[in-house]
Amino acid sequence: METRPHIRFLNRATPPHITTLILIAGISALSMNIFLPSLPAMAKTFKTDAHVMNLAIAGYLGVNALLQVLIGPVADRVGRRPVILAGLAIFILATLGCVFAPTIELFLMCRMVQAVIAVCFAVSRAMIRDMVPPEEAASMIGYVTMGMAIVPMIGPAIGGELDRAFGWQASFWALAIAGTAIALISWADLGETQARRPSGLASQMREYPELLASPRFWGYCMASALCSGAFFAYLGGAPFVGTEVFGLASDRLGYFIGAPALGYALGNYLSGRFSRQAGIDRMVLWGAIITLAGTALSLLLTYAGATNAWTFFGFMTFVGLGNGMVIPNATSGMLSVRPHLAATASGLGGAMMLGGGAILSALAGAVLAPGTGAAPLQWIMALTSAAAVLSALLVIARRRAIGR
């Protein structure tokens, strides 16, 4: 539809209110990073090393990627509301499993199931595209993720304080309580935006080649996946860098880890404010350039011997800023290549983003060891960001080639 529909909060006869979309997207972000300051304590509890605990991030992202390949067609077929409500219910149960897991194997199993919450972010983006046209969708996604950025900004800080006061399980109790509250709000407010489609799920899956044959879809996906890949590599390596390189305690580390979210909030504000005027392709390009600049400058300071916790984490705000500009606009672009496959496109694009993130997060955990310093992580982030710039340039070249 081409005009914004009438919306009433806590009335599921109308499309969802923006507040609900922010909350369901926010719980996805919170589950990814609230426990990061607790990773060293969790490794001691389960008597394992940092590389195994890193699977709580890398494995989580990998399962997210697999789920989103399937969840897009399901949401296009059965509707957005039931998929989100089911995802929230499974997430709550899996989170409680994490709290009570007696072994690292059971914890990681529950953590992988907990990854189902990512469908909320993927499907909420498709709901926005159902409601408004492409350029406005980029702005609305920008505002939703700007509000969502507050969560990862404060999440690690809260997690660090909870860990210090009550132990690592407290972060997962917080997730369970927040998930329950959001599930109740979603039940009351989340009106359906997609009519049921007559085709079966197998037919929906066969529509993937239509998306994969589009160079623009690939360009938007790769720009988003590579730019966000720098951030996911950061998630995989920042706890080690903070504790082993800069000697930060868990509560202080929580505050530092949230640094990219400061830039992410600003980037999403800029997307919401300027995407319609500047166009989504320019916003993607400039966001990728800013991400590259932040990672490259951070790496230069390390080789100059001038890095410390404040400079390392401070330059990560540029990674957040760039991601805040790239992700909403690239998402709107990939959803608009084939509008009738919006949820399928969101799921497939999310799978590429999270699958790449899982690989980069695991790689960051693997290359960091005592004595390496922060440079291996910074190299991964810089090279990934440079590839994102190239992808953005290819999208612009393709649009010019087809004349629209």
Q: What is the pLDDT of residues 87-99, one digit of tens each?
A: 999 999 999 999 9
Most confident of the following: 73-87, 177-191, 230-244, 268-282: 177-191
Q: 315 falls in which pLDDT band (50, 70, 90)?
A: very high
Q: With 60 as the cut, is the pLDDT of residue 373 above it? A: yes
Q: With 50 as the cut, is the pLDDT of residue 259 above it? A: yes
Per DSSP, the residues of 24-67 read HHHHHHHHHHTTGGGHHHHHHHTT--HHHHTHHHHHHHHHHHHH
Please give the Cα distance from 93 to 251 (Å, whole number): 27
Q: Return the biggest CA–CA distance within the chain.
A: 62
Most confident of the following: 94-98, 135-139, 191-195, 243-247: 94-98
Chain centroid to Cα 65, Å, comes to 11
Q: 1 falls in which pLDDT band (50, 70, 90)?
A: very low
* pLDDT of amino acid 290: 96
Put residue 368 in one of left, alpha, beta given phi > 0 → left and psi -120 to 50 → alpha.
beta
* pLDDT of amino acid 375: 93
Q: With 60 as the cut, is the pLDDT of residue 4 above it? A: no
The H helix count followed by the E strand count for the chain is 18, 0
Please give the Cα distance from 280 to 206 (Å, whole number): 28
Which range among 56-60, 220-224, 280-284 shows the weakest confidence by mean pLDDT? 56-60
Q: With 60 as the cut, is the pLDDT of residue 404 above it? A: no
User: Three-state DSSP class for 10?
Assistant: coil
Which range among 69-73, 312-316, 375-379 shows the weakest confidence by mean pLDDT? 69-73
Which DSSP state fits 16? P
Which range among 100-104, 208-212, 214-218 shows the weakest confidence by mean pLDDT? 208-212
Please give the Cα distance from 364 to 61 (Å, whole number): 14
Please give the Cα distance from 291 to 53 (Å, whole number): 27
- Helix H segments across 115-207? 118-131, 134-166, 169-189, 201-205
Please give the Cα distance from 112 to 132 (Å, whole number): 33
Please give the Cα distance from 365 to 399 (Å, whole number): 38
Read off the pLDDT of each residue in 158-169 and give the average, rounded to a whole number. Answer: 90
Q: 11 falls in which pLDDT band (50, 70, 90)?
A: confident
Which range among 72-81, 197-206, 255-264 shows the weakest confidence by mean pLDDT? 197-206
Q: Under a CB-based contact definition with an 8 Å cutoff, are residues 148 and 324 in contact?
A: no
Q: With 60 as the cut, is the pLDDT of residue 199 above it? A: no
pLDDT: is 294 or 351 the higher one? 294
pLDDT: is 152 or 333 the higher one? 333
Please state, rounded to an integer, the average pLDDT across all residues of the chain. 83
Instruction: Locate 160 and state its tokens.
Output: 């660090």
Q: Under a CB-based contact definition with an 8 Å cutoff, are residues 152 and 267 in contact?
A: no
| Domains by residue range for the chain, with CATH | 18-402 (1.20.1250.20)
* pLDDT of amino acid 395: 84
Q: 367 falls in which pLDDT band (50, 70, 90)?
A: confident
Most confident of the following: 291-295, 323-327, 391-395: 291-295
* pLDDT of amino acid 308: 92
Neighbours of 58 (CB within 10 A): 23
Q: 145 falls in which pLDDT band (50, 70, 90)?
A: low
Which residue, 123, 151, 120, is CA-closest to 33? 151
Please give the Cα distance from 36 to 51 (Å, whole number): 13
Q: Under a CB-based contact definition with an 8 Å cutoff, are residues 257 and 238 in contact?
A: yes
pLDDT tens by residue, 47-84: 888 778 878 888 888 887 788 777 777 777 788 888 89
Which class for 196: exposed (0-12), middle (13-18), buried (19 or more C-beta within 10 A)? exposed
Q: 198 falls in which pLDDT band (50, 70, 90)?
A: very low
